[in-house]
Amino acid sequence: MATRINKYLSEVGYCSRREADRLILEGKVTINGKIPEIGSKVEESDLVEVGGQRIEKSTKQKNIYLAFNKPVGIVCTTDRKVEPNNVIDFIKYPKRIFPIGRLDKLSEGLIFLTNDGDIVNKILRARNNHEKEYIVKVNRPINSNFIQNMSNGVEILDTITKNCFVKQLGPKKFKIILTQGLNRQIRRMCEALGYRVRSLKRVRIMNIKLDLPTGEYREFSKDELLELNGLLENSSKTYD
């Protein structure tokens, strides 16, 4: 039975479907020696390679779900040739995994890593409205106007951000809970209001809270995974 190439790479645990599409566009994926198009399909007998490395379906592997406390300076990428300070080399996990979403290089905190490509887009897709919580410090004192403006939406990247929960925690510190993930969203929101982010830490994704020292990781507990799957039950796999 033929399978779309991005789904194939996801199912074998090589990368997410979104990442697979990026690799295809960059010409790094081949099927029987030829560069495919987005949406091309793979038969069981086909030879699939990424960067010259043969990718094969093996016996159904156990799904891996890790919570990692990313330090500042580590980049959330699997491209080890481009970025030496990448999350994969830092963790040195014995099996192939990839990050779900990103935290930029200057940010820290919770990020998930997995070999389950199907779960990635369920968590990341904006219209699934899954919460991500951050603690942010800025360069100068904030006030009620700042909190209200951040909560009601800020114009960035030719759009207005979704309404979100924002609470002041100190003179220059606040908590924010987002259900979307625009590029460098919090930093851009603050900059649009005349502030600069001094530190940004993600402390929760959906039901899973950050409870690790910086630079360490752990597997999801059975209860966490059960609750997470319940939250994802009605989420779309298709990405925007």
Across the chain, mean pLDDT equals 89
Pair of tokens at residue 151? 């909560």
Question: 5 with 20: CB under 8 angstroms?
Answer: yes
**Topology match between the domains 65-117+210-232 and 131-205:** yes
Close Cβ partners of 202 (under 8 Å, ≥ 6 residues apart): 103, 107, 108, 109, 110, 111, 132, 133, 134, 210
pLDDT digits (tens, 9 = 90+) for 189-221: 999 999 999 999 999 999 999 999 999 999 999
Residue 240 is predicted with a pLDDT of 42
Catalytic residues: 104
Q: What is the pLDDT of residue 78?
A: 80
Backbone φ and ψ for 122, nearest 5 degrees, come out as -60, -40
Enter the tokens of residue 186: 């919090």
How much is the pLDDT for 175?
98
pLDDT of residue 113 exceeding 60, the answer is yes
The model's pTM is 0.78
For 47-64, the pLDDT digits (tens) are 999 988 888 766 456 889
The position carrying tokens 């996801």 is 10
Q: Which amino acid, residue 206?
A: M
Tens of pLDDT, residue by residue over 136-175, are 999 999 999 999 999 999 999 999 999 999 999 999 999 9
What CATH number belongs to 3-55? 3.10.290.10
Domains of the chain, residue spans: 3-55, 65-117+210-232, 131-205
Greater pLDDT, 239 or 57: 57
The CATH code of domain 131-205 reads: 3.30.70.1560
Pick 65-117+210-232's CATH classification: 3.30.70.580, 3.40.50.720, 3.40.190.10, 3.40.50.1390. 3.30.70.580
**Model confidence band, residue 17 (pLDDT cutoffs 50, 70, 90):** confident
Which has more confidence, 177 or 100?
177
The rounded percent of the chain whose pLDDT value lies above 90 is 63
At 154, list the tokens: 């800020």
Q: How many CB atoms lie within 10 A of CB 65?
A: 20
